[in-house]
Chain A
Amino acid sequence: MAREITYIAAIMEGIHQEMARDDDVLLIGQSVGGSPEDPFVATFGPDRVRVTPISETAEIGMAAGAALAGKRPVVDCTMAEFLLVAMDQVVNEANRFHYMSGGQVTAPLVLKAGYGFTAGWAGQHTGSIYGMFMGVPGLKVALPSTPADAKGLMATAIRDDNPVLFLHHYLLTLETGDVPEGEHLVPFGQAAIVRPGTDVTIVATGWTVHRALEAAEELAADGVSVEVIDPRTIAPLDVDTILASVARTGRLVLVDQATKHASVSAIVAAEVAEAGFSSLRAPIVQVTALDAPIAYAKPMEDFVLPDVGKIVAGVRRAVDATVGAGR
């Protein structure tokens, strides 16, 4: 039975159900379990729900060590930028142990953090910084765009034997959607075709999936049929679904809230240029944030970020262009 709940409620439900299912799952973070009435503390007790000091390195490293010792900690890291404080522990320790030990150990660790909160939070609390994690060996990265995927990807992340970075988009926090009540698992590495179309393929993640859908609706009125793909996890990345779509449409527009040179967009562009070049009937178009910090002032924030208008313009560019037209 599905019912409509918010994106954040879906994430927490995913964690709660996994904690009920497996005693080794822990919830750790700087602002978890604030009171005895907290639904996690009330159900699982303060031994499994632990508040930590503002010590990102010790907090994440300790969780990583607990994972090596067989626990399945979920660390609520609050905000993606806070991961940067503990970068050695995020990208250079637990994620490498399975490989470096010749498979002797696993590190089932989930790092949950919000990103992309473009609401005047300015240069250090708004970044879409997943690009710097998606190429890190041994680390998986999930970017859910709907409440159902948020719950299902969280459950899958907790059951995965590798460290998983679970990045939820702050602007989606209170968005609602149908979410299955019971066990719900969304597999990693399987993109969702969220809107089928025939003329242009758009690949988008997180909040930009919804902006891409709005753009697709607008373009449909003009007779342009847009297919929208949400990779859902960017490591592993389902390149096959994207290539198959481009083989049908011949045109690719990549939408990404990240800075262009550290984006999913740039990686997808490279993959398609390498493996799908013969399918392309127009140059790949990237609609990303500018390579700049997110500004504070509202008009400048808008200037830096992608939006529906920029996506529509990008699609029109792809539709109007022809490979080799300039020769």
Chain B
Amino acid sequence: MTTAVTVDARVLRDLLATMWRIRAFEEQVGALKRADEVHGLIHLSIGGEGVAAAVCRQLRDDDAVYSGHRAHGHAVAKGAPLDRTMAELMGRDGGLCQGMGGSMHLVDVAHGFLGATGVVGGNIPLALGSALAAKQRGTDVVAVVFFGDGAVQAGLFTESVNLATLWRLPVLLVCENNGFAEFTPRSAHTTVERVGDVVAPYPLPRQTVDGNEVADVWSAFSALLARARAGEGPALLECLTHRLRGHYEGDPDRYREAVSTEDWQRKDPILRLQRAGHDAGWLPAGEPAELEKRARAEVEDAVTWARSSPFPSAVPEELR
């Protein structure tokens, strides 16, 4: 059961293309990490592309997005160029942050990707601040913050929900609930099953959707976004999703059952949207392969560009 029919086919096509760009990007990052061309601690978002695409593609460049340690997909969906994003992950001077931030600290101000932070939950109050600034300026700009279900057990989550509702801030809290807080299942962290239930006492709309059903994420977020833009305050969107890879690249991932191929084919947000598109008739048979090919070519170009960028040799003058 999906609500795909209610979302315009042009939108769904765009979401599919965005998901392929993220998937191709993330797979390439994983390969480059194994080849030691990508330096440092890497968390991939393969399996979660649907949430990133359906949320970020509804936002404008002047809306602020904050992400956490698993940030590549959110940055790409918000409009960060693949070449400079890849260069950042490869620690190059041409990277978004001149090689000073890396995977967990991507920032692309030009596209309103205000930033990724590496400490779980640390980004939530920052998003409140962007929302406060937007509200004080009298604009309809919103702030969106992505975090995992692991962040919900941190005190700052409740502090932030309290403050956001108290001041009716235009902030959208998007929880990617993949059922695992780093290496342990949600059941080992809390007795509350749904993140939406955690915020029950607060006056903010909350909705839980299947995060791998892209059209559902789009529709749910669209309604909450409209409220926030109209000055009606914050909202929580909980997206149930799946992390295909381990917590980080190199994680032996022994703490959970490997997903079977059939299971994954049922869950994969890309394959699901392609099946829906085929069934509904808006996606011609050859198009998925074409989208994938185009995305992989674009990522290849990004890698070529990144490789041509030198490593930084000194701390940039303006940072001293």
A-side interface residues toward B, CB under 8 Å? 26, 47-48, 50, 52-53, 55, 57-71, 73, 88-89, 92-94, 96-105
Query: Which residues of B sit under 8 angstroms from A48, Cβ to Cβ?
Result: 136
Can you name 14 A-B residue pairings with CB atoms under 8 Å?
A: A26-B136, A50-B167, A58-B162, A61-B128, A65-B127, A65-B131, A68-B129, A70-B133, A93-B119, A94-B126, A99-B319, A100-B97, A100-B105, A104-B97
Query: Which residues of B sit under 8 angstroms from A103, Cβ to Cβ?
Result: 98, 316, 318-319
Give B144-198 interface residues, CB cut-off 8 Å to A: 155-156, 159-160, 162-163, 166-167
B126 touches A71 (CB 8 A): no
Interchain pairs with CB closer than 8 A, number: 136
B237 close to chain A: CB less than 8 A: no
The segment out of B109-117, B220-228, B257-265, B288-296 that lies at the interface is B109-117
B54 close to chain A: CB less than 8 A: no
B100 close to chain A: CB less than 8 A: yes
The number of residues on chain B lying at the interface, defined by a beta carbon within 8 Å of a beta carbon of chain A, is: 42
A92 touches B122 (CB 8 A): yes
Query: Which residues of A sit under 8 angstroms from B124, Cβ to Cβ?
Result: 58, 61
B-side interface residues toward A, CB under 8 Å? 64, 66, 95-101, 105, 107-109, 114-115, 117, 119, 122, 124-134, 136, 143, 155-156, 159-160, 162-163, 166-167, 316, 318-319
Instruction: Give the CA-CA distance A104 to B88 in the complex, in Å.
Output: 14
Q: Assess A58 versus B136: contact at CB under 8 Å? Given A100-B105, A101-B100.
A: no
Instruction: Give the CA-CA distance A57 to B122 in the complex, in Å.
Output: 9
B101 touches A61 (CB 8 A): no
B100 touches A102 (CB 8 A): yes
Query: Which residues of B sit under 8 angstroms from A98, Cβ to Cβ?
Result: 319
B159 touches A53 (CB 8 A): yes
**Among A59, A68, A71, A102, contact of B114 (Cβ-Cβ < 8 Å):** A68
Q: Assess A93 versus B126: contact at CB under 8 Å? Given A55-B159, A88-B119, A100-B97.
A: yes
Query: Which residues of A sit under 8 angstroms from B97, Cβ to Cβ?
Result: 100-102, 104
Closest Cβ of chain B to A70, distance in Å, is: 6
Instruction: Give the CA-CA distance A102 to B95 in the complex, in Å.
Output: 9
**Among A69, A88, A100, contact of B130 (Cβ-Cβ < 8 Å):** A69
Query: Which residues of B sit under 8 angstroms from A64, Cβ to Cβ?
Result: 125-126, 129
B316 touches A102 (CB 8 A): yes
A65 touches B319 (CB 8 A): no
Q: Assess A61 versus B156: contact at CB under 8 Å? Given A53-B163, A104-B97.
A: yes
Closest Cβ of chain B to A110, distance in Å, is: 14
**Among A53, A59, A102, contact of B99 (Cβ-Cβ < 8 Å):** A102
